[in-house]
A and B are shown apart, each in its own frame.
Chain A
Amino acid sequence: MLITRPRSSARQLKMTALHRKLLRDLLHMKGQAIAISLVIASGIAVFVMAVSAHEALTLTRSAYYDRYRFAEVFASMKRAPLTLADRIAQIPGVAQVEPRVVMDVTLDIEGLSEPAIGRMISIPADRRPGLNDVYLKEGRYIEPYHPNEVLVSDTFVEAHGLKPGDSFEAILNGNRQTLHIVGVALSPEYVLQIRPGEIIPDKKRFAIIWMDERELDSAFDMEGAFNNITLTLLRGTSEREVITRLDDLIEPYGGAGSHGRDEQLSARFLDDELKGLRANAIVSPTIFLSVAVFLLHVVITRVISTQREQIAALKAFGYTHWEVGLHYMQFVMVITTFGAIVGIAAGGWLGKAITGFYAEFYRFPEYLYRFDLRVVAIALSMSVIAAVIGTMSAVRQAVLLPPAEAMRPAPPAQFRETLMERLGLSRVFSASGRMIIRELERRPWKALMSTVGIAFAVAVLILGRFAVDAFDYMMDFQYFVTQRQDVSVTFVEPLSADSQFELQQLPGVLRSETYRAVGAKLRHEHRYRNVAILGLSDNRELYRLIDAREHQTKLPKNGLMLSDKLAEVLHVEVGDTLTVEVLEGERPTWEVPVEALIYEFQGTNAYMSRAALDDLLREEGSISGAYLRVDGTKLDTLYQQLKETPRVAGVLLKDAALEGFQETVAENQYIMQGFNTMFACIIAFGVVYNTARISLSERSREMGTLRVIGFTRLEVSSILLGELAVITLAAIPVGFGVGYLFAVALAKGFETELFRIPIVLSPETLAFAAGVTIIASVISGLIVRRQIDHMDLVSVLKQKE
């Protein structure tokens, strides 16, 4: 009656029993498994999204720069003869030079009461420019001998509803002229159209206008001359050396210092944006994946401890350490891989969407999006590494568990008199209350882990919204706390001190504060930056200097005050001396001590007292511009008058600047942060739900017993949910702290030379983080509650602990 059958071949392709166990265990806890997968997916999605968008934009940018021959070195001067261009072309390493005339003019646009600035750039009419070519989006290129034909930058055209065939007026060298738009253009030189002296693009009040060089030359009496030159370099040339030689050559012609792409406003802005994306690609996924690591650790430790006896049995049957460890690692890997695949797919899709959005935003003529397999490989290895880190210790425990020991039931839980009892507070609490407190006190480590897990959830929610807070704060600080003027005016040439009174007489002007700004090269050892030194008078109400940390700052009497970022860039400290090469007028060179630093959010700025600056320049109160407080009802008249004033180079409105900021820097951040917030919500739910499920599975037998001895469903669930509530509430303040640290990490990642991000957490953000966490707790609690309600009492009690 005992039968022998030929044994099936040793390793068939069918599923082994251990694989079936894996699959069924996963199905059994599918809710938790999916929640963990989604947490991993979120981290991976943010990573893939940010990295692939970063790569795509970098690629798109370099393709754009290459195809439209974006120059590498830029210089401007007052006026130089064309023969100088030939000498510049002979600097060793220079590949190509493009001399041209660039002039900022005032525009009068219908429907725009305030004056706008047009940057007129000369281009040949009979051929395309050799460098900084334009991409024609609409219309046609200018034709020779067609007077007043221009190409206009597309953002400006769009902002004013203009199209080829339309005309507008501009004041060229004092003469009002009508310019005809024949084409709408994009240029690699002005991917972002940032007005001179500003650091934020302005779509509405700043236009780039390309005009036939013959016409522009004659309008500004620049025949046979140029005031701006751009160059490309041969491969392997030292940009630094070329710049030094170029500076020497242009100096006699009023050269204002040459620079590379790193100081070209548009290129630099774009660069900073890409850096921000990079930071997002590193900081957020790291934080999200750390949370996933933690969650995996908690859940897998728990799974392994509930399967203690199963592990012992496997070992008793002769399964090796390796096989047992592999089994649990596979369990983790299924969850992880599923999460990674979902994350890669979502991240790839979002990355493409975001790249499209950025390309549209930056007006790239075309964009290249390539889903890089390397990114997939990195994302997969990151999730696998995260999973291994998270579960190694738990799996190790399973592997090292001595089989005989696992066979014995775990020693009974030790309950001691708790703090509550020692304090004699027992009577204050109900039986359920006492059970909650004893459980928390008895296993503080477990309670702590749960608290930390939920605190992470709170923290990622804070991180998701942090950038929005920071930018709001920064704008408020910049435009309402420090710079309180409504309008700022800059002049073409410095005016004499009497002009102060003329300004005061302009319609609607309530208060005016003038300043002197002088372009200079600040040099310290081999480091330098071209900046405008701002000379401010002592009696200021509008333009205030406020240290963002100290909240009060006084302009030193003699020396320079630098923004701390500029000091950092130049490697100087208070007490050091800077070489200041003035880039206008007599071009004197001074040695000036740095006497103070100011902590600012934007820009690399240098300030001096007006009197000290006047002394150095040997001037008496020359005015480069003014800050005005204006009666809002008279704005239109004021603008009209300013438009007619030829000496006015530019008018900047605070509202416009704010708008510009919102539309550029902030909008990008909001979109990115929107996704981060979405993922943060998923993570928060994943963490809280798992915490709730774990305590249910750990204590189902106890819950069953309570039900059997007559506790109602409500009473039983209130014990478990009460514990969850206590942990959630304890986790919220901890999460605020962790969130703050996350914000610091992200801000550090985003910091560039032009911007730094203040660490500000608004009450709304804290409330949002706490609120989402509480909602996640309530929902998880309800799910667990339903499971308690449907608990099969008999089978729960039959289970061996």
Chain B
Amino acid sequence: MSLSSDSVPALVQSPDTSVTVFATEDVTKVYEMGEVEVQALRGVDLELFEREFVVLLGPSGSGKSTLLNILGGLDMPTTGIVRYRDQEITAFDDAAMTRYRRDHVGFVFQFYNLIPSLTAKENVALVTEVALNPMEPEDALGLVGLADRVDHFPAQLSGGEQQRVAIARAIAKQPDVLLCDEPTGALDVHTGVVVLEVIDRINRELGTTTAVITHNAAISDMAHRVISMKDGRISDVRTNDERLSPEQLEW
């Protein structure tokens, strides 16, 4: 996959439903929190397709972060099977799981999780240094509009800028899937829109299968598909006939 302005026409890509990127079968997850057992997922069956932009919508505690972590190989389900393309990642051992995260997944966390002792560029380099086919960190930061902030430390950046660094870090490896956990959760509307535009562009221009978690229903209008969750189950799936661009969203 190459990243170029003229290789693929913008805005014409639609999901290829013949290619399943993720498939889960009856996935459950139980956490032990001290003496309490928390049932985070109660049987989730789901498919995500090539080039698809999905929004996972639901209140806090609905299990969406758990699902995203499982898709991204950060966590293992208690029962059930998860497939990434033709591989069953639930059967992976630890090393294979690490390999999978390293080679295929781009993560964006709600709280950015930047390394405070590294500059924006170095935070991105942290990922590009171990990736198979990365862009230059400067280019990734250019994509999120931070070309002039490359040498700033996280503490010198605003919340929106930090989140954009986190996105640059996630996309710099040119991942096959981009998983974003509440990427705008800690941001104001204007900054949130800027961040969503970046994610949207990655999906459109690179064709990266993208899943975004949010509890903000307004954001769902920019997705191909909206999957709603409640109490650890999928409660609703909706396909948008027409997608809105981020600046058209109304919060």
- The residue that B4 contacts in the complex, of A2, A17, A316, A402, with Cβ under 8 A, is A2
Q: How far is the CB of B170 from chain A (nearest CB, A)?
A: 9
Q: Select B107's contact among A4, A309, A317, A402, beta carbons within 8 Å.
A: A317
In the complex, A402→B111 CA distance in Å? 18
Given A2-B206, A318-B98, 16 other A-B residues pairs in contact with their CB atoms under 8 A = A2-B3, A3-B3, A3-B5, A5-B139, A7-B135, A16-B129, A17-B126, A21-B115, A21-B117, A313-B107, A313-B114, A318-B100, A318-B130, A319-B98, A404-B66, A407-B109
CA distance A20 to B131 in the complex (A): 18
User: Contact partner of A5 among B100, B125, B131, B136, CB < 8 A?
Assistant: B136
Q: With an 8 A cutoff between CB atoms, is A633 at the interface?
A: no
Chosen A-B contacts, 17 in total, with CB atoms closer than 8 Å, are A3-B135, A4-B139, A18-B129, A21-B115, A310-B116, A315-B98, A317-B127, A317-B130, A317-B173, A318-B101, A318-B103, A318-B105, A319-B98, A403-B74, A404-B66, A404-B69, A405-B75
Residues on B facing A (Cβ under 8 Å): 2-5, 33-34, 66, 69, 72, 74-75, 94-95, 98-103, 105, 107, 109, 111, 113-118, 122-123, 125-127, 129-131, 133-136, 139, 142-143, 155, 169, 173, 205-206
A270 to chain B, nearest CB (A): 55
A321 near B98 (CB under 8 angstroms)? yes
Within 8 A of B (CB), among A1-52: 1-5, 7-8, 16-18, 20-21, 24-25, 28
Contact B126 A314 (CB under 8 A): yes
Cα separation A5 to B173 with both chains bound (whole Å) = 13
Candidates A309, A321, A402; contact of B113 at CB < 8 Å: A309
Q: Are A320 and B5 in contact (CB under 8 A)?
A: no
Beta-carbon contact of B74 and A318 below 8 Å: no
Residues of A within 8 Å of B136, CB to CB, are: 5, 7-8
B96 to chain A minimum Cβ distance, whole angstroms, is 11
On whether A310 and B75 interact (CB within 8 A), knowing A5-B139, A7-B136, A16-B125, the answer reads no
Q: Are B109 and A28 in contact (CB under 8 A)?
A: no
Give the chain A neighbours of B131 by CB distance below 8 A.
318
CA A318 to CA B172, docked complex, whole Å:
13
| A17 pairs with B75, CB closer than 8 A | no
Looking at the assembled complex, report how far the CB atom of A65 sits from the nearest CB atom of chain B, in whole angstroms: 59
**Contacting A411 at CB < 8 Å: which of B33, B72, B94?**
B33
A410 to chain B, nearest CB (A): 11
Instruction: Specify the chain A residue showing the minimal Cβ separation from B72.
Output: A316
Tell me which residues across on chain B come within 8 A of A1, comparing CB atoms: 5
Q: Are A4 and B113 in contact (CB under 8 A)?
A: no
CB-based contact B98/A4 at 8 Å: no
Q: Which of A17, A28, A318 contacts B99 (CB 8 A)?
A: A318
Most A CB contacts (10 A, CB to CB) among B114, B116, B123 go to B116
Q: How far is the CB of A702 from chain B (nearest CB, A)?
A: 19
Alpha-carbon gap, A16 to B101, bound state (A) = 20
Closest 7 CB pairs of A and B: A318-B102, A404-B75, A24-B117, A313-B113, A404-B74, A318-B101, A17-B126
Q: Measured between alpha carbons, how far is A7 from B143 in the docked complex, in Å?
A: 16
Q: Which of B109, B127, B129, B139 has the most CB of A within 10 A?
A: B129
Chain B: CB-nearest residue to A27: B117
Are A2 and B143 closer than 8 Å at their CB atoms? yes
Distance between Cα atoms of A182 and B183 in the complex (Å): 97
Least CB separation from B94: chain A residue: A321
Q: When chains A and B are docked, how far (Å) is the Cα of A318 from the Cα of B115?
A: 15
Q: Which residue of B lies closest to A26 (CB)?
A: B117
Decide if B126 touches A4 in the complex (CB within 8 Å). Answer: no
Interface presence of A312 (CB below 8 A)? yes
CB-based contact A316/B118 at 8 Å: no
| Residue pair A402, B205 in contact (C-beta under 8 Å) | no
Contacts of B125 on A, CB cut-off 8 Å? 16-17
The reply to whether the CB of A795 lies closer than 8 angstroms to some CB of chain B is yes
Residues on A with beta carbons closer than 8 Å to the beta carbon of B139: 3-5
Interface centre among A20, A309, A312, A318 (most CB of B within 10 A): A318
List the A residue with the shortest CB-CB distance to B205: A2
A800 within 8 A of B: yes
1/0 per residue, CB under 8 A from B, across A558-590: the answer is 000000000000000000000000000000000
Q: Is the CB of A2 within 8 A of B130?
A: no
Known: A21-B117, A317-B101, A319-B102. A3 touches B4 (CB 8 A): yes
A18 CA / B173 CA spacing, docked (Å): 16
Secondary structure call for the A interface:
helix
Residues of chain A contacted by B135 (CB below 8 angstroms): 3-5, 7
A310 to B136, CA, bound (A): 22
Q: How far is the CA of A2 from the CA of B1 in the complex (A)?
A: 12
Which residues of chain A have C-beta atoms less than 8 A from B133's C-beta?
A: 7
* B2 and A17 contact, CB distance less than 8 A: no
Chain B residue nearest to A318 in the complex (CB): B102
> In whole Å, how far is B4's beta carbon from the nearest beta carbon of chain A?
6
Chain A 253-296, CB-CB to B under 8 Å as 1, else 0, gives 00000000000000000000000000000000000000000000
- For B205, list chain A residues within 8 Å (CB): 2
In angstroms, Cα B94 to Cα A5, docked, is 33
Query: Within 8 Å CB of B66, what residues of A?
Result: 404
Q: Do B34 and A411 touch (CB < 8 A)?
A: yes
Closest to A405 in B: B75
A285 CB to closest chain B CB (Å) equals 34
Q: Which residues on the B side are within 8 Å of A8 (C-beta)?
A: 136
**Which residues on the A side are within 8 Å of B4 (C-beta)?**
2-4
The residues of B that contact A800 with a CB separation of less than 8 Å are 111
Cα-based distance from A463 to B144 in the complex (angstroms): 61
For the complex formed, measure the closest distance between the CB of B105 and the CB atoms of chain A, giving whole angstroms. Answer: 8
When distances are taken between beta carbons in the complex, the residues of chain A under 8 Å from B109 are: 313, 316, 407
Given contacts A17-B123, A18-B126, contact A795 B113 (CB under 8 A): no
C-alpha gap A317/B130 in the complex (Å): 9
Partner among B2, B102, B107, B113 whose Cβ is within 8 Å of the Cβ of A310: B113
* Shortest Cβ gap from B237 to chain A (Å): 24
Q: Which residue of B lies closest to A319 (CB)?
A: B130
Instruction: List which A292-333 residues lie within 8 A (CB) of chain B.
Output: 309-310, 312-321, 323
Are A312 and B113 also in contact (CB < 8 A) when A3-B142, A5-B139 are? yes
Q: For the complex, give the distance between the alpha carbons of A622 and B95 in Å.
A: 90
Interchain CA distance A137-B21 in the complex, whole Å: 92
Q: Smallest CB-CB separation from A317: which chain B residue?
A: B127
B65 to chain A, nearest CB (A): 8
Compute how far the CA of A3 lies from the CA of B127 in the bound complex, rounded to whole angstroms.
18
Q: Is the beta-carbon distance between B74 and A313 smaller than 8 angstroms?
A: no
Closest to A314 in B: B126
Contact with B along A381-407 (1 / 0, CB 8 A): 000000000000000000000111101
Complex: A315 Cα to B105 Cα, angstroms: 11
**What are the residues of chain A within 8 A of B103 when measuring CB–CB?**
318
Distance in angstroms between the alpha carbons of A404 and B76 in the assembled complex: 9
For the complex, what is the distance from the CA of A201 to the CA of B215, rounded to whole Å? Answer: 88
- Measured in the bound complex, the distance between the Cα atoms of B134 and A316 in whole Å is 16
B-chain residues with CB within 8 Å of residue A3 when the two chains form the complex: 3-5, 135, 139, 142
Inter-chain CA distance A321–B125, complex, in Å, is 19
Within 8 Å CB of B101, what residues of A? 315-318
Please state if A402 and B33 are interface contacts (CB–CB under 8 Å).
Answer: no
A96 to chain B, nearest CB (A): 72
